[in-house]
Amino acid sequence: MSKVQPVILIVDDEPGNQVVLEALLIGKGYHLFFANNYQTTFEFVNSILPDLILLDILLPEMNGYDICQNIRQQERLKDIPIIFITTLGNPLDRQRGFEVGGNDFISKPFKSQELLACIKNYLAMQQTSTQ
């Protein structure tokens, strides 16, 4: 049984970034949850089992790379698409993002249409793989 609205978990410790992402995604048919640290992220990931995670890298206490790696180590969570959205953008940052299990890497400031297309694509793939 599929969810009526795809669930997206947005992990970013900057309230302004959360507001921008919410404004972009509101009304697009997504159910949004927000986390600003690793503890809240893992609570949400384990309780709501999101269809997609938008993950910043520069977070307090535990960075996005480590969060991604921890998610990938859990069998029931390992297939959730993770898109890094970060101010980091050099090739080594991108490489590390893919090495720890990220599906995509978008640099801030991002282009709205690119991010929306990316989200739509990964959610479609996720829905296809769970049917």
Which pTM was predicted? 0.93
Q: Output the six-digit token pair for 124.
A: 């479609």
Q: Give the domain 7-129 fold.
A: Rossmann fold (3.40.50)
Predicted confidence (pLDDT) per residue in 22-35, tens digit = 999 998 999 999 99
Predicted confidence (pLDDT) per residue in 77-110, tens digit = 999 999 999 998 799 999 999 999 999 999 988 9
Integer Cα distance of 65 and 41 in angstroms: 13
Res. 48: pLDDT tops 50: yes
Domain boundaries, the chain: 7-129
Confirm if 8 and 50 have CB atoms less than 8 A apart.
yes
| Torsion (CA) 17, 23, 28, 34 in degrees, nearest 10 | 40
